[in-house]
Chains A and B, each alone.
Chain A
Amino acid sequence: MSTNLKISNVTKIYPGCVANDNVSLEFNSGKIYALLGENGAGKSTLVKILSGVIIPDEGEIYLNKNNLKLNSPLDAKKNDIGMVFQHFNLFETLSVFENLIIDSDEQRESLREKIDSIMKKYNFSIDLDIPVLNLSAGQKQKVEIIRCLIRNPKVLIMDEPTSVLTEQETSELFLSLKKFSEEGILIIYITHKLKEVMQLCDEVAVMRRGKLISVSEIKNENIESLANKMVGQNLKTIKKKKAKTSSDQLIKITNLNFSSEDPFETNLIDINFSVNRGECLGIAGISGNGQSELFQVLSGEIISEKNSIEFNNNYIGDLSPQERREYLMAFSPEDRLEQAAIPQMKIFENVALNNFKSSNFFNNGLINENKIKEHSKKIISDFNVNTDNIELKSQFLSGGNLQKLIIGRELITSPDLLICFNPTWGLDVGAINYIHETLIKINEQNKSIILISTDTDELLKLSDKISVIHKGKLSKIMNAEEVTSEKLGILMGGAN
């Protein structure tokens, strides 16, 4: 039986933002649909409306001509709409089986049989009796998919499913999705990754700022045309000029180890690498393989042995982040609002935070507000931060603006080395471009970068050398020209 899903004139307004502005769309089973848009374009809001998590202000949803009233996720489930959320909706401390039985009315044994047959059919292999927190991201996603399949859904919605997957896991996922589609399940695939849309989908709907921009067949589109629709302007492509090879070593990590008391952190095992002046070293890997620990060890949040880090001919392994800054290192952590900036503090106060000593921001322990404000204004104009109010609390800046502010702040001291961790995570294409340009500029000034990132494309674009971190171990360091995303994918999955 074929399925027809129709969204009619859906509007959802939040204070200060129209998340969905009169959106109408129609889907038919047998095809895979892409819902494409930047962060904040309204695609997540739309699918949350479809799955009953959010109730729209206006508009109707019809499944096979029946008007659906989706007031809760339960209503969506009853109407055979299944959704795999971007941030997994699993209970980490419960076992896989407990996660699956919690919303099922079936008996234990019959449910187990059903799960086994689903896993066999689609070639999944997951231990049902271990807690979910022991699973990899790809396995967790499979658990979510199984949860939907148990209910024989007519519609399956996937919200940014590949953000946590390796290349291999992604292609496995695509195979499964195609199989589901052939079996008559209507698939709606939400993403901002253009390559995936071209690879997987039959039709694409583009959203921008809450509005539906276009609906078209994939065969009539290409990556550039979709990108322009998504961003609303022509994007310039950034390319890094090949760096002059320098042999002037700036930082050298020797036999660095870190073992954590916390079993849910990753231990770092025998890390060795060095970075020359003017060079960008990219560190790839699937999140949770020790990147966060490596960043903390490099930034001094975690102290290591004095001799394990040599920077500018000084041993600094036992120094704090503040002391390392005095040696002209700078840091841009992954979590902008938790680690890099204090959300409730004003922009100019945040600017002052990493410069306790080496600036004239403070006189005899008193805050020199005028100096800081002057400087903050300079950062805002130099780094294109889209606000003119330095009294604004930093939590009200968008992710892109906040990241620009943080990078700007870190570059105050004109550091020799910038260490960044997922600097463009969750940003829109415009902001990503700006950050990338800035990073390239740093290299051109003969300064160095260590770029820890889970975004393979970003790494290939910006790095001179690339290494892969897997389970706390670093692969050998490769020249960026010799590396392809496929090769990185294999290394990220743990193969040699």
Chain B
Amino acid sequence: MIIDINFIGLIIASIMASAVPLILASCGELITERSGVLNLGVEGMMIIGAISGFALMTVTGSLIIAVFGAMLAGVLISTIFAFLTQTLITNHVATGLALTIFGIGISAMIGKNFVGIPGKEFPVLFQGLKDTIPLLGPILFGHSIVFYFAFALPFITSYFLKKTKIGLIVRAVGDSPESASNQGINVKLVRYACILYGGAMSGLAGAYLSMIYTPQWIENMTGGRGWIALALVVFSTWNPIKILIGAMIFGGLTIIQFHMQAIGVRIPVQFLTALPYIVTIIVLVVISRDSRKIRLSTPSSLGKSFHKDN
């Protein structure tokens, strides 16, 4: 059997494409969690982004309005979470779960009118270069702007956290909100901003699904990707670069197990479907074993409400 080298390139590209929503949502949630806030509403924010993007695209016809509208929708729904957890000091876990249930419900409601409507084609960049280099051509070229942004995001996030003053403040707030407050840092403001940013990235991840990856609206189309994104953040020990690795492994195994099922490999389907989850967790646990590093990168105040008393 002769395997076309460009065919391998295409498979790799499709793996990368399936990793995009995970990377976007994880990197957003990573910033939120680094500030000490545990938002379990990623799945809900993602699906809101998905329906908002698709609906705006259908109604306005503008892809730019649709993409930014989806991010704004993510911001708006995360504002509810921020108001509840930061201003009214509700429990992060319960509020996040409620957000997911809310998001899934309301997206299904809005989405009723959009089922079965075909999506629009999303423009890709560097399409002409795709065939110029074997193997690498299909991997590097001919993707949407969101795709390129997603693969830059872990590096931007890492740089932001390590090298910028605002990143330092975010880490400080996640480490000890009490100390930060005593240093004159406005803890609530920082956490609000981080929650809203996480919402925007989840919204974008959702829009990628409904507008680019599978351009149509299907109820519940995020299919648990929000939860995977959350798991990636924890298992990567809050390290954006490891999120990239984890998302690639997860995306890769998802694609490969589809192909294995199609070829008819004699392994139970259930096992193949479970494979990406198992392997991703094992790999991330193995590469993140250094307990010293875990202590240094885990936000100490994660999930704890901060209430300034005076």
Residue B169 interfacial (CB < 8 Å): yes
Segment of A93-101, A205-213, A458-466 engaged in the interface with chain B: A93-101
Residue A234 interfacial (CB < 8 Å): no
Complex contacts, A103 vs chain B, CB 8 Å = 183-185
B287-301 Cβ-contact flags toward A at 8 Å (1 or 0): 000011001111010
Cβ-defined partner of B184 (8 Å) among A72, A92, A133: A72
Question: Contacts A72-B184, A102-B169 given: A94-B175 contact, CB under 8 Å?
Answer: yes
B291→A262 contact, CB < 8 A: yes
B158-173 Cβ-contact flags toward A at 8 Å (1 or 0): 0000000100110110
Complex contacts, B185 vs chain A, CB 8 Å = 102-103
Of the listed residues B178, B295, B297, the one surrounded by the most CB atoms of chain A closer than 10 A to its CB is B295
B310→A93 contact, CB < 8 A: no
B181→A54 contact, CB < 8 A: no
Question: Contacts A91-B171, A91-B175, A92-B175 given: A73-B183 contact, CB under 8 Å?
Answer: yes
Interface size on A, residues (CB 8 A): 26
Of the listed residues B178, B182, B185, the one surrounded by the most CB atoms of chain A closer than 10 A to its CB is B182
Residue B179 interfacial (CB < 8 Å): yes
A102→B182 contact, CB < 8 A: no
A93→B179 contact, CB < 8 A: no
A53→B182 contact, CB < 8 A: yes
A56-94 Cβ-contact flags toward B at 8 Å (1 or 0): 000000000000000011100100000001001111111
A94→B168 contact, CB < 8 A: yes
Cβ-defined partner of A101 (8 Å) among B168, B180, B184: B168
Residue A131 interfacial (CB < 8 Å): yes
Residue A261 interfacial (CB < 8 Å): yes
Number of A-B contacts (CB under 8 A): 64
Nearest neighbor of A103 in chain B, beta-carbon distance: B183
Complex contacts, A85 vs chain B, CB 8 Å = 182
Residue B176 interfacial (CB < 8 Å): yes
Complex contacts, A90 vs chain B, CB 8 Å = 176, 179
Cβ-defined partner of B181 (8 Å) among A73, A101, A102, A131: A73
Cβ-defined partner of A261 (8 Å) among B169, B180, B183, B291: B291
Nearest neighbor of A90 in chain B, beta-carbon distance: B179
Residue A365 interfacial (CB < 8 Å): no
B254-273 Cβ-contact flags toward A at 8 Å (1 or 0): 00000000000000000000
Whole-angstrom distance between the alpha carbons of A404 and B200 in the complex? Answer: 54
CB of B228, distance to nearest CB on chain A (Å): 26
CB of B239, distance to nearest CB on chain A (Å): 13
Whole-angstrom distance between the alpha carbons of A92 and B178 in the complex? Answer: 12
Chain B residues with CB under 8 Å of chain A are 165, 168-169, 171-172, 175-176, 178-185, 291-292, 295-298, 300, 310
Chain A residues with CB under 8 Å of chain B are 51, 53-55, 72-74, 77, 85, 88-94, 98, 101-103, 131, 133, 261-264
- Nearest first, the 3 closest Cβ-Cβ pairs linking A and B are A74-B184, A89-B179, A91-B175
**Interchain Cβ contacts under 8 Å between A and B, 9 examples:** A53-B310, A73-B181, A90-B179, A91-B171, A91-B172, A91-B175, A98-B168, A103-B183, A103-B184
